[in-house]
Chain A
Amino acid sequence: MGDKITLQVTRYRPEEESSATVQEYEVPCPKDWVVLDGLNYIKDRLDGSLTYRWSCRMGICGSCGMTVNGEPKLTCETFLSEYGHGPVKVEPLRNFPVIRDLVVEIGDFMRKLVSVKPWIIRNKEKLLSDGEYLQTPDELDEYKQFGMCINCMLCYSACPIYGLEPGFIGPAAIALAQRYNLDSRDEGSAERLEVLSEHDGIWGCTFVGECTEVCPKHVDPAGAIQRYKLTAALDNLKSFVIPKSAR
Chain B
Amino acid sequence: MSERPAYTEYHPRWLRRQPSTYWWLERRAYLSFITRELSSIFIAWFVVYLLLLVRAVSRGDSSYQEFLAWSRHPVVLVLNVVTLLFVVFHAVTWFKLAPKAMVVHLRGKQLPAALISASNYGAWVAATALVLWLLLGG
**Residue ranges of A at the interface with B (Cβ–Cβ < 8 Å):** 12, 14-15, 18-20, 70, 94-95, 97-100, 105, 107-108, 111-112, 138, 160, 163-164, 167, 206-210, 212-213, 220, 222-223, 226-227, 229-230
24 sampled A-B residue pairs with Cβ under 8 A: A18-B13, A70-B26, A70-B27, A94-B17, A94-B19, A97-B3, A97-B16, A98-B14, A98-B16, A98-B17, A108-B3, A112-B1, A138-B108, A164-B19, A167-B1, A206-B37, A207-B33, A209-B97, A210-B30, A212-B100, A213-B29, A220-B100, A226-B100, A227-B100
Complex contacts, A206 vs chain B, CB 8 Å: 33, 37
Answer yes or no: B137 CB below 8 A from chain A CBs.
no
Contact (Cβ within 8 A) B29 A230: no
- Considering only residues 97-112 of chain B, those with a C-beta below 8 Å from chain A are 97, 100-103, 108
Contact (Cβ within 8 A) B100 A222: yes
Q: Give CA–CA (A4, B90) in the complex, Å.
A: 46
B28 to A: closest C-beta gap in Å: 10
Complex contacts, A167 vs chain B, CB 8 Å: 1
Chain B contact residues: helix, strand, loop or mixed: loop
Which 5 pairs of residues, A with B, have the shortest CB-CB distance? A226-B101, A97-B14, A223-B100, A98-B15, A14-B12
**Residue ranges of B at the interface with A (Cβ–Cβ < 8 Å):** 1, 3, 5, 11-17, 19, 23-24, 26-27, 29-30, 33, 37, 97, 100-103, 108
Q: Give CA–CA (A138, B19) in the complex, Å.
A: 42
Contact of B12 (CB < 8 Å), options: A15, A108, A112: A15
Least CB separation from B5: chain A residue:
A107
Interface contacts (Cβ under 8 Å), in number, total 77
Contact (Cβ within 8 A) A210 B27: yes
Contact (Cβ within 8 A) A227 B103: yes
Contact (Cβ within 8 A) A227 B17: no
Contact (Cβ within 8 A) B5 A100: no
Contact (Cβ within 8 A) B97 A226: yes
Contact of B33 (CB < 8 Å), options: A100, A209, A220, A230: A209
Complex contacts, B108 vs chain A, CB 8 Å: 138
